[in-house]
């Protein structure tokens, strides 16, 4: 997937509101590529944990035909994991805008209003 202004040539950015909307319709697989410790400390509901360092040997756990949204703490590991997915035939890859830091910020101060988007 090639979109102008995206984080990488193969990925689009997806907003937190769009993520919620697509999760509600069961349209995506959400991939958390942080460490197990980070995941246990908190994660987005519905996320599958596959640390970025394990992506290549756990590709079989993911559905290549389903759009994949990836997040990490701030973006670097998600970009690395996304490249590995793209290199292995995944075509519909998005990175969550703000990643975990943005998600936590919006949860903490209730600044994410998706009412008009859902």
User: Quick one: 22 exposed, middle or buried, by C-beta within 10 A (0-12, 13-18, 19+)?
Assistant: middle
According to the per-residue pLDDT averaged within each range, which of 6-15, 34-43, 106-115 is highest? 34-43
The pLDDT, as a whole number, for residue 63 is 96
pTM for the model stands at 0.83
The pLDDT, as a whole number, for residue 118 is 44
Q: Is residue 72 a contact partner of residue 84, using CB atoms and an 8 Å limit?
A: no
The pLDDT, as a whole number, for residue 116 is 55
Q: Looking up tokens 């197990």, which residue turns up?
A: 36
The pLDDT, as a whole number, for residue 110 is 52
The pLDDT, as a whole number, for residue 106 is 75
Q: Is residue 92 a contact partner of residue 9, using CB atoms and an 8 Å limit?
A: no
pLDDT digits (tens, 9 = 90+) for 43-75: 999 999 999 999 999 999 999 999 999 999 989
The pLDDT, as a whole number, for residue 70 is 97
Domains of the chain plus CATH, in order, are: 11-109 (3.40.250.10)
């Amino acid at each position: 997937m090639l979109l102008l202004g995206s984080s990488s040539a193969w990925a689009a950015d997806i907003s937190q509101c769009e993520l919620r909307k697509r999760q509600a319709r069961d349209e995506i697989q959400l991939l958390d590529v942080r460490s197990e410790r980070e995941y246990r400390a908190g994660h987005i509901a519905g996320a599958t944990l596959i640390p970025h360092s394990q992506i290549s040997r756990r590709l079989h756990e993911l559905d290549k035909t389903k759009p994949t949204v990836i997040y990490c703490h701030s973006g670097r590991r998600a970009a690395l994991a996304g490249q590995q997915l793209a290199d292995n035939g995944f075509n519909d890859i998005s990175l969550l805008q703000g990643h975990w830091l943005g998600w936590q910020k919006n949860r903490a101060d209730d600044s994410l209003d998706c009412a008009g988007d859902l």
